[in-house]
Amino acid sequence: MSNEIPAEVIDRHTAHAEEAREQADEYDSLLRGDIIYGANGEPFEVPHRDLFSNAQQRRWDAMLAERQDYDREDDITASDGTVIRRGDILTPFRKNKKLVKSQIHPSELATDAEQQAIAIWGLDEAKRADKAGVVFNEIPVAFAKQARRIRKWREADSKSADRDSGVAAAADSD
């Protein structure tokens, strides 16, 4: 018996995922994407991470996996050598002590925001966004705005597990 998902099921799921993204935009959902604009006025969507397409999610995961091999600052360790906190990834990015080059501008250094653009839009679309004058540093700002929308909703939602219910604990009965 094959573990492969039939193409019609994948197509149906993809269509539903696209519908979910459209509905999120239409109804001003917490999961709506944000639009950033190139200098020429061309819009580019930064989708909410929970509504990435399969291709976007694969590229995002590949970016994170690649970064696991980047050079890091020294780990913070206990006196017995146990790692308490892993060192941060060095910036500008380095791999095996060599600076990581940009995929869009190979003579320049890679940036976090550029790598996010490639993960979200793919290399060709990220190049097009760059030519349109998109400031890639707006991408992490868009993600922060999306996270803030959800955080504010949780703080205001009485049913949210992250919110104090305002109900005092009952006293123990004798």
pLDDT tens sequence across 16-58: 556 665 655 554 577 889 999 999 999 999 999 999 999 999 9
Find out whether 53 and 17 touch, Cβ atoms under 8 Å.
Answer: yes
**What is the tens place of the pLDDT at every residue in 111-158?**
999 999 999 999 999 999 999 999 999 999 999 999 998 888 888 877
Whole-number Å distance between alpha carbons of 88 and 97:
15
In a domain, 139, yes or no: yes
How many structural domains does the chain have? 1
pTM reported for the whole predicted model: 0.72
In a domain, 170, yes or no: no
Q: Which domain, by its residues, includes 93? A: 28-152
3-state helix, strand, coil in the chain (%, to 5): 45, 10, 45
